[in-house]
Structure 1
Amino acid sequence: MNIVNKLTLRHLKENKGRTLVTTFGIIVSVAMITAVFVAMASFLQLFADVSVVSDGNYAAQLSDVKLSSLDELYKDERIETVGLCDENYKQFKIDNGKSDRLATGSIGACDDGYFKMFIQADYDGTLPKTSDEIAVQSDFIEKNELDWQVGDIVSIPCGIRTMRDKDGEFDVTGAYSKGEKFVRQEDKQYRITAILHQNNPTSEFAFLTYSDNLKANPTVAFQLKTLNSKSLDVVNDIIDKANPGASTVNKELLYSKLSFSSDSFVADILPLVVILLIIIMVASVVLIYNAFAMSLSEKVKYLGMLSSVGATKRQKRFSIYYEGFILALFGIPLGIGAGVAGIGITLKALGKKIIATSMINGVTEQNVSMKVVFPIWAVLIVLGLSIITILISCSIPAKKASKISTISAIRQSDEIKVKAKTLKCPKYIKVIFGYEGELAYKNLKRKGRKARVITVSIALSIVLFLSCNYFCALFANETVAQDSMPYQIGVYLDETNRESAIKEFENIDGIDDMYSVTNLYYFVQKSKNYKNNFEMFTDNKNLTNAYSREFSNRFAVLINMLDDDMFNELCAKNDIDSKAYYNSNNKCKLLLMNNVSHTANGKKVFTDNILGSSFKEAYYPEDNLQFEITDFVKYSNAKPCNLNNIGVISLYMPYSQFVKVCKNINANDNQLSKYILGIETTDHQKVTEKLNTISDDGKYSDFSVVDFSEQMQTFNTIALVIQVFVYGFVALISLITIFNIINTISSGIASRKKEFAMMKSVGITPKGFNKMIMLESAFYGIKAVIFGLPISALISFGMHKALNNSTTTFSIDYLLYLIVALVVFAIIGMTMIYSVKKVQQNNIIETLKDDIN
């Protein structure tokens, strides 16, 4: 080891505080980078595990495969397993079922390969080995209240399921359809060899049997021998060669191996990951660079002495890189360990929460768990980014170290370069703040580069925190559903049954309220070759300045068909005559909610110019169904204003008028086929079961029930996951920025020991000294805020334009900006006071005699 490296190690040992500060900066930086990639890899693995349990352990499924292509699949050396299934093997309807819906279904016939890939749940017994054996789904037995056991011989009525429409009769397969007929052809005897406990990949089949002769147009699934980043290309190549009629790729399974296409979910989140990493690296570079820069200031004299005895520029420059290397040897492993441990604890808790919501059928804590994954590709990226961050942080101090000469190091001439003219203090500072203010101002000017480093460092801390906070808020807004539906259950029924069904529902215990949530939904996306019906929503003359560019690319429009009493109440709240909306025979008049932010003080979206605009129904334009916007309504946090999500253009009209107009113009039957009833309840499971019983009775055609509570629970869980990461990241960035300010200020004060001792030696009073320090703090804070706040606003605006896909306007959180400014002043002031108190403990004479800067 050469003398320069020995002296570098000695310097690190002697300045334990500075060494620990720099190492801590490296640990935090590496931990945050590690957390990003461990979280990404772990969630991709969770999605893969969930996909296996819910869909099956396959790479792709193919249908309509020719026999020659099927033989090639068996011969392909890249394929581990090929499985076949006849999804329409037999149709059945048992005699002793609870209802037609529960008693009817399909029998699937599979081979061993298909069983291997698609039986992912626990089961009693053994899987079928002959065509006289079956596996039965346990929920089929439970819902039909059967006493079937493994080993029982059961008789299954098999035959043909049909339905009739205006074009004639057609066969039905899969789930039961209201109004279908069953033609019995045979009673097939089966021995139950297995009872499957919620095997979601085959949940469409109540029964599974075995067959080794399935080459007549079966569904084909295959799994690869090796899964890696090239797997998607391999799968696509196999599919192209097989030339099937249709195919499905298990993308979630391939994502876990970083195998994805440019239009995939992973490709969509990569820009967000890149922005996140840039923020982390910038914050880290600022923190670590300051530590190395302060270290360089403390080493100036000994580097000058090395120069006097022949040390080359390369050796002096390498001493800084060597210091970075030594610290990285400790900081990187500790940072990786801290990152894995921290994110591991978080992911375990979040994964348990996600799985506990039962957001995916068949996925439970028994068959899926959140694994903390740190694959080799993530390790290499973390190491690479960590090393790059440290090298960038070292590069400027290393360059400066190489230029240090003997004379300049002894005289400190490079530390202070100032002309008398530069030190001239504005008169207003002396008038306002007195002699101490003038001294504080000149101190900042005299320190030149050091003062600028401190100011820039504080300003960067402000920019990092505010821009990071805005990015996280924007990410959360774009990813999570903003509104919760006020109703928990949706009932879909034919319009002709509306009144009788509602009357029956009134007798169901547990229903608190019910109302129409029928709507027409249009998602409009800008296209050069497509002219839509909604130009009035993008015309600048119809938009306020705040929203002049918000609907230029894509937006959603929802026409809400309200029950008459709810519509009339909405009109009354907005001083509108409701009678005018029932008179027209051939046109639907609409109210427009002039608010998409869903806040009471939200900015207006449209000008009065839009009133009177008309447009045609977009799905069935041949029906000539016309809509006209006639008036505005204000937003209120109550029905019907909260029926639609944030960012949606909400329109309202009475349902009865919609039906009347559609009948008058002989509109397409599809316009009137579905009435959607929203039901509010505190016991969604009980009410859903009662409504399903009504569905089983078959009294109402096209009747279906959807329990939205589980969906909302899923949304809430996703929101929780995102909020934990968002606010956790903001908290870490906050700690880094605060630590950076404290480190920068305290280091600057520590390097001025002799300066302060000299001031005291010439008679500055303790009160005057403290006033000078406080004013210096104020000047640092003012300069940092003047630069930091506007730059933060500009960066936030840039992120809004680059990432914001909703129809929310850009706005600055002035209260947050004010709080950040006040906190910066407080941190600077408290840090300077604390640091000065430590310096004041030194003896004046001993400090002036000290030859070490």
Structure 2
Amino acid sequence: MNIINKLTIRHLKKNKRRTMVTIIGVIISVAMVMAVATLGVSFLDLLKRQVVADNGEWHVQYKNVTSDQIKAIEKDGNTKDLILSSDMGYAMLEGDEMTVKPYLFFKGYNEEGLEQFPIKLSSGRLPKAANEVVVSDHLAKDIGINYEIGAEMTVEIGNRMMEGEPAPLLQNYSVQRGEEGYLENLEIHTTETFTVVGTIERPSWEEPWAPGYTVINYIDQENLNQAVNVDAVVVVKDLSRSIFKQAEQLAQQNDIVGVGFNDELLRYYGITDNDNLHTTMYSLAGIIIAVIVIGSVSLIYNAFAISVSERARHLGMLSSVGATKKQKRNSVFFEGVVIGLISIPIGVLAGLGGIAITFMFINTYIADALGTSVKLEVVVTPASVLVACFISSATIFVSTYMPARKASKVSAIDAIRQTQDIKLTGKAVKTSKLVRKIFGLEAEIGLKNVKRNKKRYYATLFSLVISIILFLSVSYFTNNLSRSVEMSQAGTDFDILVSGSNGDISDLESLVHTEGVTGYSLQKTVQLTSLIEEDKFTEELIAVIEKENIELQDGRYPYYVNVYGLSESSFQEYADKAGTDAVTYRDLEDPKAIIIEKISYQDYEASKFVETKSINTKPGERIELQFTDYETNERTMLAGLEVGALTDEVPMGTNTARVGGLDIVVPIETLDAILNEKALNEVQSYLYLNSSDPMKTQEALEEVVPSSMYIYNVFQNREREQQMIMFLSVFTYGFIALISLISIANIFNTISTSISLRKREFAMLKSVGMTPKGFNKMINYESIFYGVNALLFGLPISFVVMYLIHRSVNETFQYGFTLPWLDIVFVIAAIFVIVSSAMLYSISKIKKENIIDGLKQENI
């Protein structure tokens, strides 16, 4: 090691605090780059494992192959594993009842397929001969059919065919049913006898609504059943983009008709020509890493620039005794190498440890958030480690390049006299006279110092601005996620919806006593028409009529009217909320209705939500209802309803109409009384439930609700959305916290070093009479100048970034742009706290120094 490098190491040891701050900053930077790279690789690995867990691991599928074609595929040099798969067909289950799952679905695999595909045994063993099968244990759970191990079954297997459809219906098509029976039939092609050797859990590829319960049998490659189509599924040895061309060539050479690919799995390996997933992920990772690098360069560059400034006299002395420019430049690069050798290995380990802890935390939420059955695992590849090390090394090199050039240009005389950092003009530090008049001499001196040390000022200002932009952008993005979820769940003030059929509520009434139900609304609904006079039009409706040039009918506008008929208890509860007496609405001779006066809807053209009145009316006026037969366009007068009350309250589970629409709530008996036969056929019935345990309630409902009804668990979707927000928030706020650490470290390093180098200046001010109070006042004003200037730059840029995020989100969710004032207030306070803390910390270190010792200070 040469003498210059030894002096460099001695300098690093002498300035331990600055060296430690730099090392910590680089460690955080490397850790973040490593964490981002590892997160990307681990997330892709999660997606791969989930696809394999759902559909097995395979890459190419050759459809409807013969024995000779199978042998040719097996001999191909790129074939690693050959799986034989066959959808044999369906057999009808016993029983005359029309259900959503009336079949057994027979699927065959050879030995490799039984091992490769996700088949989980419940009891017994997997089949080893062509006449052996395993059956789904859901047969016993759902319909009580229990095939004991050793039992024989003889079945007629065929294809599901539907009139007008030339190809058979597959397992991903639900049963096609009509009011009078099935719209499909089985075309039998074989009769088989099998021995049951085990039971399996319902496979992941069998959806709950799939038409058949899965039965798996064994495919004997030597004795293929020619009546059944067999597919050859291949796991290849070499995964590359050439897989598509190679597979097509093999198929062409052996007259294989169809070739398919596991596009979803190949996509996650990056082997696809028509997918932007990798582009998106790499772009996102690139943006995040770019932000990390920018923040890190600011910190590390500033540290090395200060180091060069501190070492100016040493470099000048070296120059005076013969040190070359190259030696002085390499001295700074050597300092960067030493910092890197210490920081990069620690940073890599810290990044891996941090992401491992993060995964431990989020794995409890990820299954619900992403709908996966596998967990995130830390996956480290040589490429990700090399990328992290390369980016970190490049960051250190870029950070040291300018200070190194500056060091090489330091002349011996300037360095020894230390004049290179104070070449200023009066114009450069000129301040407004108003500053002294309003704030005093201390503020003017503080402002002059900010102007005098522009490089350090800009470095600190940059760090502050980056922190402001990052925090506000990330918090705004997360808030938008929450708001988007609220919008997507608009009107879902319930946990579970059960929809009836043909307006019949008799089956729904008994469900209100299901376990866990804490509240409900039982209702019928139908859409009618009402011709409304011009004096009842709202301003918004008038604007729509004029804009679209709608022609009125005898001066009246045809409102569409959503009529909601509530059961007795539901109407009683609703009337209480609306502030009216439910008893007055029971008269069927002179029926009354509650009108929902306030409507809220999404105006797509104006990109905002609108809240307005639906109609200008008052209690005592009448609304005449008509039924419109849209097939014949014939309108039939039904009845007139008296307006009993106006309200803003909306029944559970419903959304309000838009402009030109009206919502009316009546007792269910009133709705039945005013409708004619045709209108009654259009009625839909719904039961909205709230529950203390929605999942248990859903399970209880599924046991008693007939297949003709539909159950929709909103709570589950809502929980999944919230889990997704939490999942994203962990990463976004973790990211902002680490970037802020880099920025805060930079701010503390810059300010504290700046204060340390100004010891002579402070001593001179004290020697000419500046009191401790005046000194503190000057430092406080400097803090304020830093904070105010950071906010003047940071807030406008943040507003632009937030607006761009808003515009991006508005592609799906449209609402007005509003600033997050609470977050802005927090940022303003935080900036002044950070700057003031850094100033106070630095001043506390030199406050007790003697004036004479300060004047002797050599560094400026």
Are positions 1:208 and 2:209 aligned together? Answer: no
Based on CA coordinates, which of the two structures has the bigger radius of gyration? 2
Alignment of 1:509-528 (within 5 A): 510-511=516-517, 512-514=519-521
Structure 2 SS opposite 1:310 = coil
My pick for the range that moved more, 263-272 or 672-681, is 672-681
1:827 corresponds to: 834
Residues 1:224 and 2:239 are matched in the alignment: no
| Residue number in structure 2 paired with 1:109 | 108
Alpha-carbon shift at residue 339 of structure 1 (Å): 0.9
Q: How much does 1:290 deviate?
A: 1.9
CA contact (8 A) 1:518 1:677 kept: no
Q: Which residue of 1 aligns with 2:153?
A: 155
Q: Does residue 476 of structure 2 align to residue 488 of structure 1?
A: no
Kindly tell me: are residues 317 and 260 of structure 1, through their superposed partners in 2, closer, same or farther at Cα, counting changes over 3 Å?
farther
Contact 1:53 1:201 in 2 (8 A): no
Aligned partner of residue 489 in structure 2, secondary structure? coil
Deviation for aligned residue 1:68: 7.9
Q: How does 1:326-725 map to 2 (within 5 A)?
A: 326-355=338-367, 359=371, 363=373, 368-471=374-477, 473=479, 483=489, 485-494=492-501, 496=502, 498-506=504-512, 508=514, 510-511=516-517, 512-514=519-521, 563-564=564-565, 593-596=599-602, 605=609, 678-694=688-704, 702-725=708-731
- 8 Å CA contact 2:304, 2:403 repeated in 1: yes
Task: Give unmatched runs, 5+ long, in structure 1.
Answer: 521-535, 544-558, 580-588, 613-620, 627-633
Letter in 1 for 2:770: I
Q: Note if contact 1:57-1:118 (Cα within 8 Å) is conserved in structure 2.
A: yes
The answer to whether the Cα contact below 8 Å between 2:31 and 2:347 also exists between their aligned partners in 1 is yes
Q: What is the alpha-carbon distance in structure 1 between the residues aligned to residue 193 and residue 256 of structure 2? A: 38
Q: CA offsets, 1:20-57, max 9 Å, x none?
A: 11111111111111111222222221222222222222
1:295 pairs with 2:295: no
Bigger shift: 726-735 or 474-483?
474-483
Counterpart of 2:126 in structure 1 is 127
For the structure 1 residues 796 and 691, does the alpha-carbon distance in structure 2 shift closer, same or farther, using more than 3 Å as the test?
closer
What amino acid is the match of 2:204? N
Amino acid in the other structure paired with 2:115? K
Q: How much has 1:733 moved relative to structure 2?
A: 2.5
Inter-partner Cα distance in structure 2 for 1:62 and 1:562: 56
Question: Per-residue deviation at 1:245?
Answer: 5.7
Distance 1:153 1:625 in 2: 62
> Of the candidates 285, 288, 295, which is equivalent to residue 276 of structure 1?
288
Task: Name the aligned partner's letter for residue 718 of structure 1.
Answer: M
Contact 1:12 1:19 survives alignment (8 Å): yes
2:738 corresponds to which of 695, 707, 732: 732
Q: Give the Cα separation in 2 of the matches to 1:781 and 1:257.
A: 47
Structure 2 CA distance for aligned equivalents of residues 694 and 161 of structure 1: 31
How far, CA to CA, are the matches of 1:402 and 1:457 in structure 2?
A: 27
TM-score (norm 1): 0.76
Q: 1:358 to 1:283 in 2, by over 3 A?
A: closer
Q: 1:712 to 1:456 in 2, by over 3 A?
A: closer
| Superposition deviation, residue 10 in structure 1 | 1.9
Greater Cα offset, 730-739 or 128-137: 730-739
The reply on whether 1:55 has 2:59 as its aligned counterpart is: no
2:639 aligned residue: none
Deviation of 1:560 (Å): 11
**Aligned AA for 1:821?**
I
Cα 1:123–1:567 shift into 2, 3 Å: closer
2:824 to 817, 823, 827: 817
Distance in 2 (CA, whole Å) between partners of 1:390 and 1:50 is 39
Q: 1:61 to 1:470 in 2, by over 3 A?
A: farther
Question: For residues 70 and 105 of structure 1, what CA distance do their matches in structure 2 show?
Answer: 28
Matches within 5 A, 1:238-253: 247=260, 249-251=262-264, 253=265
Are 1:105 and 1:175, in contact at CA under 8 Å, matched by a contact in 2? no
State the percentage of identical aligned residues. Answer: 29
Instruction: Give the number of equivalent residue pairs.
Output: 769
Conserved? CA contact 2:481–2:725, under 8 Å: no
Once residues 726 and 231 of structure 1 are traced to their aligned partners in structure 2, the CA distance between those partners, rounded to angstroms, is 38
Q: CA deviation at 1:373?
A: 0.8
1:263 & 1:684 partners in 2: Cα distance? 38
1:548 corresponds in structure 2 to none
* 2:525/2:564 contact within 8 Å kept: no
8 Å contact from structure 2 (residues 103, 213) kept in 1: no
Residues in 1 aligned to 2:108 and 2:823: alpha-carbon distance in whole angstroms: 63
CA gap of 1:21–1:371, structure 2 versus 1, over 3 A, is same
2:199 is aligned with 1:191: no
Give, as a single letter, the amino acid of the residue that structure 2 aligns with 1:131. A
Distance 1:652 1:228 in 2: 60
Partner Cα separation in structure 2 for residue 243 and residue 807 of structure 1: 50
Aligned partners of 1:58 and 1:221 also within 8 Å: no
Q: 1:86 to 1:170 in 2, by over 3 A?
A: closer
Q: 736, 740, 749: which is aligned to 2:755?
A: 749
Gaps of 5+ in 2: 528-540, 549-559, 586-594, 617-629, 636-645
AA matched with 1:137: S
* Residue matched to 2:32: 32
Provide the aligned C-alpha RMSD in A. 5.0
Q: CA deviation at 1:468?
A: 4.3
Decide whether aligned partners of structure 1 residues 786 and 852 sit closer, same or farther in structure 2, where only a CA change above 3 A counts: closer
Aligned-residue offset at 1:725: 1.3
Say whether residues 1:808 and 2:820 are aligned partners: no
1:839 is displaced (CA, Å) by: 0.8
Residue 589 of structure 2 corresponds to: none
Q: What is the rounded CA distance, in whole Å, between the counterparts of 2:196 and 2:284 in structure 1?
A: 52
Shift of 1:838: 0.9
Deviation at 1:742, TM superposition (A): 1.9
Q: Give CA deviations for 1:793-841 in whole Å, capped at 9, x if unaligned.
A: 2233344445653323433223322332222122222321221121123
* Whole-angstrom distance in 1 between the partners of 2:683 and 2:266: 41
Contact 1:93 / 1:156 at 8 angstroms: preserved in 2?
no
One-letter amino acid of the structure 2 residue matched with residue 91 of structure 1: A
Question: Secondary structure of the residue that 1:87 maps to in structure 2?
Answer: strand
Letter in 2 for 1:826: V
CA contact (8 A) 1:518 1:560 kept: no
Q: Partner amino acid for 2:360? A: K
Query: Quick check: 2:597–2:647 contact (8 Å CA) kept in 1?
Result: no
Report if aligned partners of 1:98, 1:143 keep a CA contact under 8 Å in 2: no
SS of alignment partner, residue 563 of structure 1? strand
Q: Kindly tell me: are residues 131 and 449 of structure 1, through their superposed partners in 2, closer, same or farther at Cα, counting changes over 3 Å?
A: closer
Displacement of 1:227 in angstroms is 6.3
Name 2:776's counterpart in structure 1.
770
Query: How big is the shift at 1:481?
Result: 8.1
1:239 & 1:798 partners in 2: Cα distance? 50
Residue pair 1:592, 1:652 contacting (<8 A) in 2 also:
no
Tell me the CA shift for residue 470 of structure 1: 3.7
Post-superposition Cα deviations, 1:270-329, rounded to whole Å, max 9, x if no partner, equal 433333222222222222222222222212221222222333333322222221121111
Q: String of CA shifts for 1:356-415, please: whole Å, max 9, x gaps.
A: 78945xx3xxxx443111223322322232222222222222232222222222233221
